[in-house]
Amino acid sequence: MKIKILIPVYNDFQSVSKLISKINFTISNISHEFSIIIVNDNSTENAEIDINNIDKISSIKIIEIKKNQGHARCIATGLKYILDKEQFDYVIPMDGDGEDRPEEIAKFIEFLKYDQIKPIVGERVKRSEGLIFKIFYSIHKLITYIFTGQSIKFGNFTCLPKSTVEKMVSEKATWSSFSGSLTKLEKNRSTIPSIRGSRYFGPSKMSFYNLIKHSLSIIAVFKTNVIIRSILFFLIYLFLIYENLSYITMIPLLAVLALVISVLAISKRENISELNNSLSNIKNIDEIK
């Protein structure tokens, strides 16, 4: 099988070098063809990668992006490029900082022995971040489930068959949220347990603002559900508090209204035209191995 590992990166090439070395070691006893495609999101640092002693990875390409576009759109661009330009059977998107552990690639490959049709997601069973991040992440999962009916416990680290890649490249939501789009398109998924690793170098680049935007982007994929459930909440809540209306009892209504407005605003990031034209944002492609 031909397996492409897709890695979006912005100013983290020291981590990517270490990741590639670990991937090379992980796949040393796996008899499939592995290639790596890195999407460099217009980094300000030099895209230098140490490929010494990398003998099990058949090729490594760096796609240089002209204009910084963000993590989700880098993955979408990479999927579009792979579908249009490469021969492959599966794509494994993963972060380049070490938080997606390369040793779990072997789990994906092992699972393919039993089912080669369904996408496989790495469902988080343990996280390495601090307490505050874990609290906000739990709140994000709860709000997502309440307002969309979807329990999404995975990120980018997945194993996608070609049929799923084809669906995702044709879905506008992929341009805004990878996990939201995959959840929308593929109801029948396989899972492996996945432990969130620690960054190889430096602190996390995920700011609080970006965390909120990431959360809203996922929820926005299911904006119809959000609107319907919000209307039901308004009706039921107003019925229950009708005789006790006050500024305080109105706070939950205002909070839900703010959520709906935010979701509708961020859903405008979904754009099939930009996804279709994403390869025009490629400056050049360097094949370093």
- Predicted confidence at residue 128, as pLDDT, reads 58
Mean pLDDT of the chain: 93
| Close Cβ partners of 7 (under 8 Å, ≥ 6 residues apart) | 16, 19, 36, 37, 38, 39, 93, 94, 95, 96
| Close Cβ partners of 126 (under 8 Å, ≥ 6 residues apart) | 195, 196
Rounded CA-CA distance 242/83 in Å is 55
Whether the per-residue pLDDT at 39 is higher than 80: the answer is yes
Residue 3: beta bridge partners? 34, 90
Residue 209 confidence class, pLDDT cut points 50, 70, 90: confident
Q: Which two tokens stand for residue 204?
A: 């996390």
Whether the per-residue pLDDT at 177 is higher than 90: the answer is yes
- Predicted confidence at residue 70, as pLDDT, reads 92
Among 25-39, 137-151, 194-208, the range scoring the smallest mean pLDDT is: 194-208
Whether the per-residue pLDDT at 170 is higher than 80: the answer is yes
Whether the per-residue pLDDT at 205 is higher than 70: the answer is no
**Domain locations along the chain:** 2-136+151-203+271-287, 224-262
89-142 per-position pLDDT tens digit:
999 999 999 999 999 999 999 999 888 899 999 998 765 556 776 787 788 889
Residue 47 confidence class, pLDDT cut points 50, 70, 90: confident
CA dist list (Å): 92 to 168, 198, 255, 279: 14, 19, 37, 19
> Which comes out higher in pLDDT, residue 134 or 47?
47
When pLDDT is averaged across residues 13-32 and rounded to a whole number, the result is: 95
- Predicted confidence at residue 139, as pLDDT, reads 85
pTM, whole model, 2 decimals?
0.92
Superfamily of domain 2-136+151-203+271-287: Spore Coat Polysaccharide Biosynthesis Protein SpsA; Chain A (3.90.550.10)
Task: Tell me the HSE value of 251 on the side-chain side, using a 13 A CA sphere.
Answer: 3
- Predicted confidence at residue 207, as pLDDT, reads 66
Among 2-16, 118-132, 256-270, the range scoring the smallest mean pLDDT is: 118-132
Among 30-34, 85-89, 141-145, 166-170, the range scoring the smallest mean pLDDT is: 141-145
> Which comes out higher in pLDDT, residue 209 or 200?
200
- Predicted confidence at residue 121, as pLDDT, reads 97
